[in-house]
Structure 1
Amino acid sequence: MELLIGLFTGIVFGFLLQRAHVLRYDKQLGALRLMDMTIVKFMLAHILVAMVGLYLLSDLGLAKLSLKATVLGANILGGLIFGLGWGLLGYCPGTSLGALGEGRVDALSGILGMLVGAAVFSRSYDWLLTTVYTWGDYGKITLPGVTGLNHWLVIAVLAAVYVLILRFLERKGL
């Protein structure tokens, strides 16, 4: 059943990616050049929806939050590799799959890069555990945990910040 739920939510997310036009190369390039914030707005909205959904399910006892440790070394290195790949190709891994689904074969190089990256990661995982995964390990932290505030208050503040960012970007025509 979990696999079917994952498949269904993946299809819905892919549909939303396509409808929001974030699979288009011009939108990807616009985001990288900070000239078109369609992708940023789309992702911020989805992060907000996911936050509300996860905490609601957790509060109702229907899901359990499984936090991963905050490790600066891994996050920075992973972000640099991700950003480099996105900048070189013009697609991130998820959008490359969606772009291929729309018939853009140039996205195949992104999918190949994703598979090669996964293979390299799996082969170097033991080494990464003793090096990169030890650099700046802060453990399992959350904004509500760090601030001592109720998670719904933190979500409300982040939602307000999102609305302000959205209004700012809209005023600037981004």
Structure 2
Amino acid sequence: MTLIMGLVTGIFFGILLQQAEALRFERQVGAMRLQDMTIVKFMLSTIIVGSIGIHLLADLGMISFAPRALSLGLQIVGGLLFGIGWALIGYCPGTSVGALSEGRLHVIWPIIGMLLGGLIFAFIYPLVQTYLRPLGSYGALSLPALLGVNHWLVIGVLVVVALLLFSFFERKGL
């Protein structure tokens, strides 16, 4: 059942990506050049909806939710790889697969590269666990726990900041 829910959620998210035009190369490049905030607005919206949904389900006892241990080594290397890949191909992993589903064949080679990267990662995973995970390891952290406040307060502030950003982007025509 979990796999089916994941598939349904993924299909729904893919439809939203397509409807928001987040699968378009021009939108991706526009976001990287800070000239088109469509992607930023879409992702901020999904973060807010996801945060509300996950915390609501957890508060109702329908799911268990706990933050994973923070490893700055993993975050920095992962962020660099993600950012470099996005800058080189003009798509993040999810949007590249979505673009392929729309018939954009120019993403085939980057997708093959991602699959090969995943295969390489599977082989070096023991090294990553041994040497990279311990770098900057801080245990399970969350912003509400660090601030000593309820998670709904942090989500509320995130919503207000996002709405202010959306308003700013609209005024600037972004």
Per the normalisation by structure 2, the TM-score is 0.97
Q: Tell me what 2:45 maps to.
A: 45
Whole-Å separation in 1 of the counterparts to 2:66 and 2:100: 32
Whole-Å separation in 2 of the counterparts to 1:140 and 1:171: 39
In structure 2, relative to structure 1, the CA distance for the partners of 1:66 and 1:108 (3 Å cut) is farther
Q: Paired residues, what number?
A: 174
Whole-Å separation in 1 of the counterparts to 2:94 and 2:162: 23
Give the secondary-structure state (helix, strand or coil) at the position aligned to 1:131.
Answer: helix
**2:19 is aligned with what amino acid?**
R
Whole-Å separation in 2 of the counterparts to 1:33 and 1:95: 17
Q: Tell me what 2:6 maps to.
A: 6
Whole-Å separation in 1 of the counterparts to 2:64 and 2:101: 33
**2:172 is aligned with what amino acid?**
K
**1:62 is aligned with what amino acid?**
M
Q: Which shifted more, 159-168 or 41-50?
A: 159-168
Q: Tell me what 1:133 maps to.
A: 133
Q: Tell me what 1:116 maps to.
A: 116
Q: Which shifted more, 83-92 or 66-75?
A: 66-75
Structure 1 segments, 4+ long, off by >4 Å, are none
**1:22 is aligned with what amino acid?**
A
Deviation, 1:19, is 0.2
Give the secondary-structure state (helix, strand or coil) at the position aligned to 1:139.
Answer: strand
Cα deviation, 1:66-116, whole Å, max 9, x if unaligned, reads 422111111111111111111111111000110000000111122112111
Q: Which shifted more, 126-135 or 38-47?
A: 126-135
Deviation, 1:170, is 1.3
Give the secondary-structure state (helix, strand or coil) at the position aligned to 2:65.
Answer: coil
**2:18 is aligned with what amino acid?**
Q
Q: Tell me what 2:28 maps to.
A: 28
Whole-Å separation in 1 of the counterparts to 2:69 and 2:113: 26
Whole-Å separation in 1 of the counterparts to 2:114 and 2:61: 35
Whole-Å separation in 1 of the counterparts to 2:113 and 2:35: 26
Q: Tell me what 2:70 maps to.
A: 70
Structure 1 stretches lacking a partner, 5+ long:
none
> Does the Cα contact within 8 Å between 1:67 and 1:140 map onto a contact in 2?
yes
Q: Tell me what 1:97 maps to.
A: 97
**2:116 is aligned with what amino acid?**
V
> Does the Cα contact within 8 Å between 1:25 and 1:91 map onto a contact in 2?
yes
Going by fraction, where is strand more abundant, 1 or 2? 2
Q: CA RMSD in A?
A: 0.9
Deviation, 1:154, is 1.1
Per the normalisation by structure 1, the TM-score is 0.97
Whole-Å separation in 2 of the counterparts to 1:36 and 1:44: 14
Whole-Å separation in 1 of the counterparts to 2:172 and 2:69: 37
Q: Tell me what 1:16 maps to.
A: 16
Deviation, 1:117, is 1.3
